[in-house]
Every structure is written in C-alpha cells, then in structure tokens.
Structure 1
Amino acid sequence: MSATVRAQRLDAAGRATVGECPVWRAQEGALYWVDIPARRIVRLEIESARRTEWAFDEQVACFAFDKTGRVVAGMESGMFGVTLADANEARAVKLAAPSFPATGMRFNDGRCDRQGRFWAGTMVQDMSLASAVGALYRFDEKGVLSTAVVDGLITQNGLAWSPDGRTMYLSDSHPQRRIVWAFDFDTETGTPGAQRVFADLHHYTGRPDGAAVDADGCYWTCANDAGRLLRFTPRGELDREIALPASKPSMCAFGGSDLKTLYVTTIRPSTNATDDDGHVFALTPGVQGLPEPDYAGLLPVA
C-alpha cells in the first residue's frame, strides 16, 4: 500500500504561503497555480524554468482556462473573468457573485466538470469558527451562476470527476469533518444526485484537501497535516500512500507531455515550517492522469 516515490522540489517555482489549484497547460508546457494570501496566479514553464506571476486586488483561490487562454476564477467577492497578459499584467472583470451568508468568506477549491462547467465552493476564511455556511456553486457555459448546489460545508475541497463524468467527488477538509463524498452526477444537466460517503479520513490520516482523478478512475487526495498523498479506488478502498517532504499538501494535478507527472502544491504553516513547506513538488506515481477540461463558455475580454 505504501509506495516509495521520490518527490522532486521545484525550486524555480518559488515558495508560497498557501499554494493551491495547480493546473497543467499542455500547449505551453507550463504549470499554473495560485498563492491565495499573496493574491497571485503563478506560472512555471517546466523546460526553461521561467517563472511568471500576476497580482490581483483580491485573493484568487481557484481557476480554469477557456479555449482562448482566458481564465475563469473564484476569488473573494465572486467569479471573475481574467486576462493574463504579458509582462505580469492581469486584468479582471467580475462575472457573477453568490449571496454570501456570512462575512469573511471567499471561494476555495474549484475546477471544471467533464462538460466544461466551472464549479467552486465557498468557505469562511477563519476556520476556527467552524461555520457550516459554505456551499458549492456551478458556473455554467452560458455564464450563469447557480444557487447553492450543495450547502452546509465548512471547508469545501476535493472537487473531481470520474473519467466518464458520472461521479462527482467533493470533500470537507475541516478537522471536524474530514470526509470525501461521491455523488451520482447527471452529465447533461450538471446536477449531482445521490450522495454517499466515499472516504472517511478519520480512519486514515490527515485532512482531505485538493484532489485529482487518474485514468484508472482512482481518486488522489492530498492528506493535509499528514504529508501524504492517498489514492482511493473507485470503490473507496485505499490502495496507495505516498509520503511527501512537506506536511501540508494542498492540491495535486497531473501534467507533463504524457500526463504521468503528478504536481503537488503545499502550504507553509505559520509555525514550525520546514524548508520544504510551501514549495511545489513533482513526482512520477506510475499512473497516467486525464486532461483538465477547459471552461466551455465564452469569457469576456477583461
């Protein structure tokens, strides 16, 4: 079950406070991710090790590309359309916003389903409050933001879809929850149906943070606070565990020319941080990933 896989630290990527949302951009041979409190999207061109970053007025937590290279992003106050220009210049325009039920909230984890709808969830940033007012939203290809599709979440995380798109995964990474759920998913309407517990990390280790699904349909979750990657089969059985140099892995994504490299962002804790915490890592777990779907809608030029 435990696998010995060496994770390479990508020093050229720099060091984040809260690294999240790695996205592989195949046509650029580049990995993108965010540093949430730094209000930045970062890009690393893997072959040249050239690093670029774009700063924003709000924290950006999650994003996806459309087919033109523009970006839909979940930030503090809503969904934004973003243009990443050259010379570190970024422009953003607000597209939609939910009705936040509490102060101090923002979007958190997000990605596109297999049909290209962008999904993202909200949370109260002060996790010590354990406020179960977070919710999951759908931003469809017509640019319409749904009402809450799943509610009652404390720290929404772990969004992913099975290879056929018929199962949606969602986790709550708050210490009081530590659950990954699976939902039957209607691919035509973009509606999650029957919900079941897929993995209860109280029985394993860490908290289920960001995730990815591989070509075998297995679900990889970052076990935050445990310095581990956990791979669950579609039946919810743990079949692989990989140790990482950093204690707080936050999200993973497959990339590389053959989608056989797994990139992992990490968080730098406020106390007792090691030299590895906050860095991006790359490893080869012996399986292949799936291409990340583009947002299917047409984003405005910001």
Structure 2
Amino acid sequence: MERVSGVSCTVGESPTWSAADNAWYWVDIPAKRVWRLDASSGVSRYWDNAEMVACVAAKAGGGLIAGMETGIFSLELGAERGAKALKLATPASGLGEGMRFNDGRCDRQGRFWAGTMFMDMGAARAVGQLYRYDAARGISAPFVSELLTQNGTAFSPDGRTMYLSDSHPQRRMVWAFDYDIADGVPSNRRVFADLTAEVGRPDGAAVDAEGCYWVCGNDGGYIFRFTPDGKLDRKLVVPMLKPSMCAFGGKDLDTLMVTSIVSGKPEDAEWGGAVALLRPGVKGVAETPFGA
C-alpha cells in the first residue's frame, strides 16, 4: 500500500478516477476541500469551497458534479485555489437543518445518484434519502427514505444491479436493487450483506470487473469483498482504522484508492486521514462520467 504523499484529511471521502484527466479526485468534507492527484506527475493539489463537499464524480467535458450541503452542484476547478460552484438542483422538500448530502456515484449511463444524511450521527435520525439527478429530468423524488447514514452506492458492471448501504452503527446493512438501465429506476430492494456481526461498518464502496462489491469497513480497518450473490470472500486489512470509501482507477483500472477518516485513537495516529493506493489483484470497471 502506497500513501499519497503530503495529504491528510479529517474526513476523506469519495475517491473517483477520471480517465480523461488521468487523475484521481476526492474530498475532505469538513475542510470544504476537493483534492486532485495527477497520476503522471504524482503531484496533488486542492480547491476550497464555500460549503462542504461530500461526494464528487467526473463530468463529461470536464469538471465535477458534487453533492454538497445545500444541493447538487457543478464544480469547475481552474488555476485559482477556490472552485467555481454552480448549484444545479435541490430536493423539492429541501434538505432541512443539520442535513447535507453524503455518498454519491454515477450509474453506468451517466446519471448521478447521491443521498442525504443528518450530520449529527449520535442523534440517529432516520431522515436520509436517496436521489437521482440528470440534466434532462433534474432531481428526482426520493427513491429510498428513512436512512440513517446513506453510503455504499455502486453499480454492477452491466448496470442492472444497484447497491446501497447504511453505515450507521444501528444499521450496518447493504442492500441490492434491480436497476432499470433505461429509466434509471431501482426496484426489488433486498438485503445483500448484513454486517451487524462484523467489526466495521459498511461505508463507501466500489464494484470490480468480476461483479464483486468492495466496501470499506469503517471502524474496523478492513475492506470487505462480497461476490455478486452476497458471499464474503475476502477481508483486506488496511492500516487505517476508519477507511471510508474505495474506488478503482489508474490506466489499467487495477489500482484501488482508499480514503480514510481521523479516529483520534493513538493506534491510528499515523494512518488516520491518509489517502492510499493499493493493487488488490483485480481490475475495476470504468466509471461513466456524468452526462456522458
């Protein structure tokens, strides 16, 4: 495992690979910051924002789409230190006091999916919802409601299965849905993986070329790999206690980027908040940019 030099995040999240830019992007939520790592030079830099950025995905034509505190935004990352943010949509019901977007990813057709959460996890308020956004139809009504901490959004290689997790300590669950790739509608929700007996909460996730679901075991220092039928077939130990999300990328899609969160525990002092790259021995699936 190789640590990305000079980078430490309080809440590192949402790694994503942009083939067009030959670069990785990710966020540090409380810092209101978007990071970029150039794969050719190894140079990293960041852009500041006026509000928290929770999840990002590459846009066709350049820039990023992002789920933030008050809605879905388009971000343009230029030469200046600050990003240029344009609000695209807000849920019809609004986000409410103490809410923000959390985890997000594009489906295989380039539609952006992102969910909301109540930021004070200790309150355990099941008010999170999952939305779809595309330029033609705007933001949808919520497809999933009553989430505590929405996470783990990912899609099978053929796009016909959607995954979603709730990483709150009181849930620790991953669901699968049948996914209509023409209309962008999930259905037939069912339990895919129950992690209540595992050490580690199911946080951000990615899918590999074999259709297996990789999900970060936050608080456990693991990344779990589940086969398409929900069988746990691999448990990868990582040096950070709170890995938060993983994503496949690199030229050959054989590299996994892992972000993490500072735990404040002495045993996690070196790696907490680190961003790391590793080669897990399998390849990922190319992510479709938003609007492609």
TM-score computed with the length of structure 1 as normaliser? 0.93
Q: 1:262/1:215 Cα in 2 relative to 1: closer, same or farther (>3 Å)? A: same
The aligned residue for residue 249 of structure 2 is 255
Q: Which has the higher relative contact order, 1 or 2, with Cα contacts under 8 A spaced 6 or more apart?
A: 1
Pairing partner for 2:44 from 43, 46, 51: 51
The aligned residue for residue 3 of structure 1 is none
After TM superposition, where is structure 1 displaced by more than 6 Å over at least 4 residues in a row? none
- Distance of 2:273 and 2:12 partners within structure 1: 6
- Kindly provide the CA deviation profile for residues 146-201 of structure 1, in whole angstroms up to 9, marking residues without a partner as x: 11111010000000000111100000000000000000111111111101100000
**Structure 1 unmatched runs, 5+:** 1-6, 298-302
How far apart are residue 140 of structure 1 and its match? Answer: 1.6
Pairing partner for 1:77 from 70, 73, 81: 70
Q: State whether residues 252 and 263 of structure 1, in contact with CA within 8 Å, keep that contact through their aligned partners in structure 2.
A: yes
How far apart are residue 87 of structure 1 and its match? Answer: 3.3
Pairing partner for 1:151 from 145, 151, 154: 145
How far apart are residue 47 of structure 1 and its match? Answer: 3.2
Higher mean displacement: 87-96 or 14-23: 87-96
- Distance of 2:262 and 2:70 partners within structure 1: 24
Q: 1:66/1:25 Cα in 2 relative to 1: closer, same or farther (>3 Å)? A: same
The aligned residue for residue 106 of structure 2 is 112
The aligned residue for residue 238 of structure 2 is 244
Q: Which residue identity is paired with 1:274?
A: A
Quick check: 1:180 aligned with 2:174? yes
Q: State whether residues 101 and 133 of structure 1, in contact with CA within 8 Å, keep that contact through their aligned partners in structure 2.
A: no
Q: Which residue identity is paired with 2:229?
A: R
Quick check: 1:295 aligned with 2:290? yes
Q: Which residue identity is paired with 2:132?
A: R
How far apart are residue 101 of structure 1 and its match? Answer: 5.9
The aligned residue for residue 186 of structure 2 is 192
Quick check: 1:139 aligned with 2:146? no
Work out the number of aligned pairs and report it: 290
**Structure 2 unmatched runs, 5+:** none
- Distance of 2:160 and 2:32 partners within structure 1: 34
Q: State whether residues 17 and 278 of structure 1, in contact with CA within 8 Å, keep that contact through their aligned partners in structure 2.
A: yes
Higher mean displacement: 19-28 or 284-293: 19-28
The DSSP-based 3-state class of the residue aligned with 1:203 is coil
- Distance of 1:161 and 1:36 partners within structure 2: 23
Q: State whether residues 70 and 95 of structure 2, in contact with CA within 8 Å, keep that contact through their aligned partners in structure 1.
A: no
Pairing partner for 1:95 from 77, 88, 99: 88
- Distance of 1:92 and 1:167 partners within structure 2: 31
TM-score computed with the length of structure 2 as normaliser? 0.96
The DSSP-based 3-state class of the residue aligned with 1:128 is helix
How far apart are residue 271 of structure 1 and its match? Answer: 4.5
Higher mean displacement: 266-275 or 155-164: 266-275
How far apart are residue 143 of structure 1 and its match? Answer: 5.3
How far apart are residue 234 of structure 1 and its match? Answer: 0.1
How far apart are residue 9 of structure 1 and its match? Answer: 1.6
